[in-house]
Amino acid sequence: MISAKLFKERYFAQVVTLLLLLLILVIGAVPGYLKGNWQWQEPPPITNLKKLKQIRQTGLALPGWQTIEQAEQPIGEQKWSLQLIKKQDSKTETEAVLLLLPQNGPKKQPQVEWTEINGWGRSRWGQWDIAQSRVVEFTVKQPQAKVKARFFRAATTEQTFAVLQWYAWRDGGDPSTLQWLLADQIAQLQKQRAAWVAVSILIPMEPLGKIDTVWSEVKSLGKTVQDTLMTNKL
């Protein structure tokens, strides 16, 4: 059971984020209002939109990983890139599923991507039971960016996966749509945008095992994905 202290901490963090977002909106809106120009009706363009859209057709070339197969995958009402990848060293071979949904327009916002992935998992495998869910953090060093992500175990009728999910942008990432909106509003004050890519990584693991046992592998792949997106796409 969630303790009262933890609940208060999460509630306080959400309130602070909302207040910051409201402050940014007011600061950004007042000059536009006085000039008769509402900024949120015509947000600044996304200069790298073409590169982002290419992800659906080509996937993402990851250093140290081999792409076995890549295709556009309808999930919910959107089209993701579904990429089967493999990494092999002298001792072990690791396979993973990489799902990527890039922003496809200047007004497109992240909304229900994680819910759609859950529905896709149930449709594909007949079962998608989530357990051991938590929020984790990792850091990409060059350029430095901190990422928060959802990390959980998903059990299906055929396979158990360790799953890592977040929205990536050029200087960070978070599984919360609210955090992306805050980053985008800050960027818009500088006439820029926080273009985003939804990332969902699935790595097979021991049936009904502990996700801590594969965290090192999952974190390593998460860092590689974030770094590659920041370097080549975002």
The answer on 151 and 138 residing in a single domain is yes
| Residue of higher predicted confidence among 4 and 128 | 128
Looking at the fold, whether 58 and 19 belong to one and the same domain comes out as no
Considering the domain architecture, whether residues 26 and 55 belong to the same structural domain is answered as: no
The confidence band for 42, taking pLDDT boundaries of 50, 70 and 90, is confident
- For residue 59, the enclosing domain spans 44-232
Whether 132 has a pLDDT exceeding 90, the answer reads yes
pLDDT of 122 reads 96
Pair 118, 164 in one domain: yes
Q: Is the pLDDT of residue 180 over 80?
A: yes
Q: Give the pLDDT band (50/70/90) at residue 219.
A: very high
**Whether 53 and 118 share a structural domain:** yes
Tell me: do 96 and 186 sit in the same domain. Answer: yes
* Mean pLDDT confidence for 197-204: 98
Residues 53, 6, single domain; the answer is no
- Is residue 167 domain-shared with residue 122, that is, in the same domain? yes
Q: Same structural domain for residues 123 and 194?
A: yes
pTM comes to 0.84
Q: Are 37 and 59 in the same domain?
A: no
Final residue before a domain boundary, out of 27, 42, 57: 42
Number of domains in the chain: 2
Do 38 and 51 share a domain, yes or no?
A: no
| Spatial separation of the C-alpha atoms in residues 42 and 35, rounded to whole Å | 14
Q: Are residues 15 and 71 in the same domain?
A: no
pLDDT of residue 9: 47
